[in-house]
Amino acid sequence: MCGRPDQSLATAVPVSDFDIQLHLLLEGVFLKYQHDFRNYSRSSLRRRVQQAMDHFGCTTVSGLQDKVLNDAELFSRMLQFFTVQHSEMFRDPQHFRLLAEEVLPMLATYPSIKIWVAGCSNGEEVWSLAILLHEQNLLERSVIYATDINAQALRTAESGIYASNRIAQFSTSYLEAGGRRSLSDYYHAAYDKAVFDRSMRRHMVFADHSLATDNVFSEVHLVSCRNVLIYFDRRLQDRALRLFRESLVPRGYLSLGSKESLAFSAHVDAFAPLHTEQRIYQLRA
């Protein structure tokens, strides 16, 4: 899924020296590595770039740029700063409860079910959805497409291996989300890790995909994209939402993060809120 720049994505004019150098860094990263962060929210990026500067011992963004553009291995480590996400299994349990109680029964009416987790990061959400599908006997006829731009995160997501000190929180959220069994039915412990059931892996497809530069790849019934759009600027958010619109079947579902909103998007009229507070929307037919 090799990407090309999207001409509709003009960027804001930088004011401070920091922002001017940040602008140049992002242009350089795009030209050299084809990773397009130019339309990420500047206010969120500044902190992350500052942290990368501290980590790599740089006093200016230009200094960081010099290292990043001349050292591909360093760039792959830099990617962790650009894309670091903090996810959990069954994060916001009420959200997953609604998916299980109101969305999955509708998806069950389709002969086969396709779900796209866009910006899946380390995959906690992917495995959560697989468990919910399994408990409604839907997993056998489901495929979950899990995409991200971060190859290292995709490998973690695919492995389904998480630190066991996170499992207590995951278990609590699983039960609050209406889980019907015990989360421990789905993983085995190995030293300080929890390894999730490999048989569920057969229903997942992991792929490198950028919401900034790539296009639609499949028709799906549910898009889950949580806490990704808040890190995009308005233009890139609208581009991502366009992809979701084009990808969803009529009356397909869109699940967003708790602080995200369609209200100020160009696509607000294309979706009807199914549950406003939990940010679950349905594409209008």
Partner 1 sequence: MERLKIVVIGASAGGVDALITLLRELPASFHLPIMLVLHVPPDQPSLLSQVLAFHCELQFVEAQDKQPLQAGWVYCAPPGCHMMVEPDGQDAYVSLNVDPPVNLSRPSIDLLFESAAHAYGQGVLAVMLSGASDDGAAGMRTVFALGGQGWAQAADEAAVATMPQAALAHNPRCKEMPLRGMVAQLLAVRQAMPLEMTA
- 201 touches partner 1 by CB under 8 A: no
Of the ranges 113-121, 143-151, 156-164, 232-240, which one interacts with partner 1 (CB under 8 A)?
A: 232-240
- 163 touches partner 1 by CB under 8 A: no
Within 242-271, which residues bind partner 1 (CB under 8 A)?
A: 257, 259-261, 263-265
Which residue, 67 or 234, has its beta carbon nearer to partner 1?
Answer: 234
Of the ranges 136-144, 173-181, 189-197, 229-237, which one interacts with partner 1 (CB under 8 A)?
A: 229-237
Would you call 103 helix, strand, or coil by DSSP? helix
The answer to whether 83 touches 231, Cβ cutoff 8 Å, is no
199: CB partners within 8 A, 6+ apart: none
CB of residue 19 to partner 1, shortest distance in Å: 5
CB-count exposure of residue 106 (10 Å: 0-12, 13-18, 19+): middle
Q: How far apart are CA 110 and CA 105, in angstroms?
A: 10
Which positions from 81 to 120 touch partner 1 by CB under 8 A, shown as an x/- string?
Answer: -----x----------------------------------
The answer to whether 121 touches 85, Cβ cutoff 8 Å, is yes
Q: How far apart are CA 114 and CA 129, in angstroms?
A: 12
163: CB partners within 8 A, 6+ apart: 192, 193, 194
Q: How far apart are CA 71 and CA 65, in angstroms?
A: 10
- 18 touches partner 1 by CB under 8 A: yes
CB of residue 219 to partner 1, shortest distance in Å: 27
Which positions from 33 to 72 touch partner 1 by CB under 8 A, shown as an x/- string?
Answer: --------xxxx-xx-------------------------
Binding residues (CB under 8 A) for partner 1: these are 12-13, 15-16, 18-19, 41-44, 46-47, 86, 227, 229-231, 233-234, 237, 257, 259-261, 263-265
